[in-house]
Amino acid sequence: DAGVIQSPRHEVTEMGQEVTLRCKPISGHDYLFWYRQTMMRGLELLIYFNNNVPIDDSGMPEDRFSAKMPNASFSTLKIQPSEPRDSAVYFCASSFTGRAGYTFGSGTRLTVV
Amino acid sequence: AQTVTQSQPEMSVQEAETVTLSCTYDTSENNYYLFWYKQPPSRQMILVIRQEAYKQQNATENRFSVNFQKAAKSFSLKISDSQLGDTAMYFCAFMKGGGSNYKLTFGKGTLLTVNP
């Protein structure tokens, strides 16, 4: 298995632009998580899905952030409009049942200038 | 809410020696899971070891082992025969048991450097 695949690996965008981060989970995994990592706040859960349904989005910072999972093999995290404070590494992770721990993707480093 | 504390921002160890990373957590739950993740410079988050709170036996994975003290809410990671490839950030994480909430709460991490 190729693991959890995220794209792009790096993204540099201007303030106010729309940014879309993509994730392909491991086949057969029924949970998908989006985390954000910053120096100040560490790793924070943004949202997670079970069988493509959003379960907990309480970590989504504000309405500028949205996430979708149209099918079991694809999810997106969108920021519109982007702001410099959104600069961070965004991780996608997937899991089968959750309790075994997650498999993380390589992350997307987002820089908003 | 659960909190995870890693009190050592940075540590260093000589190759082939043993090092222990500390982690404490605060929870009112009795059923939960604890994890250690490794993040090397490549940025990939890698699961190192997992412990179920209701199991008294400490988990072991090759050179990695934990000292789980439930009453003290302590979950330290011991790395034996340290290798240069062990250089990484190490994160301790907590997950509630029961129900269907699979959120991982992470500590701030410990940067471990293995010196030749």
B91:A101 CB<8 A: no
pLDDT tens string A67-85: 999 999 999 999 999 999 9
Confidence band for A30, pLDDT divided at 50, 70 and 90: very high
Say yes or no: B11 contacts chain A, CB-CB below 8 A: no
Q: B109: which chain A residues are within 8 Å (Cβ-Cβ)?
A: 42
Give yes or no for residue A92 having a pLDDT over 90. yes
Give yes or no for residue A109 having a pLDDT over 70. yes
Length of chain A measured in residues: 113
pLDDT tens string A48-66: 999 999 999 999 988 999 9
Give yes or no for residue A1 having a pLDDT over 70. no
The segments of chain B whose pLDDT lies below 50 read none
- The pLDDT, as a whole number, for residue B84 is 97
Give the gap in angstroms from C-alpha A89 to the nearest C-alpha of chain B.
9
Residue in B102, B110, B111 to test binding to A, most A beta-carbons within 10 Å: B102
Q: In chain B, whose CA is at the least distance from the CA of A55?
A: B101
Q: A89: which chain B residues are within 8 Å (Cβ-Cβ)?
A: 43
User: What secondary structure does DSSP assign to A57-102, as a single string?
Assistant: -TT--STTEEEEEEETTEEEEEESS--GGG-EEEEEEEESSSTT--
B102:A42 CB<8 A: no
- The pLDDT, as a whole number, for residue A101 is 87
d(CA A107, CA A36): 9
Q: Please answer whether residues A75 and A49 qualify as being in contact, where contact means their C-beta atoms are separated by less than 8 angstroms.
A: yes
- The pLDDT, as a whole number, for residue A27 is 95
Give yes or no for residue A38 having a pLDDT over 90. yes
Cα–Cα distances in Å, from B57 out to A100, B28, B33, B53, B90? 17, 21, 13, 9, 22
d(CA A92, CA B86): 23
- The pLDDT, as a whole number, for residue B32 is 94
Q: B29: which chain A residues are within 8 Å (Cβ-Cβ)?
A: none
- The pLDDT, as a whole number, for residue B25 is 97
- The pLDDT, as a whole number, for residue B97 is 86
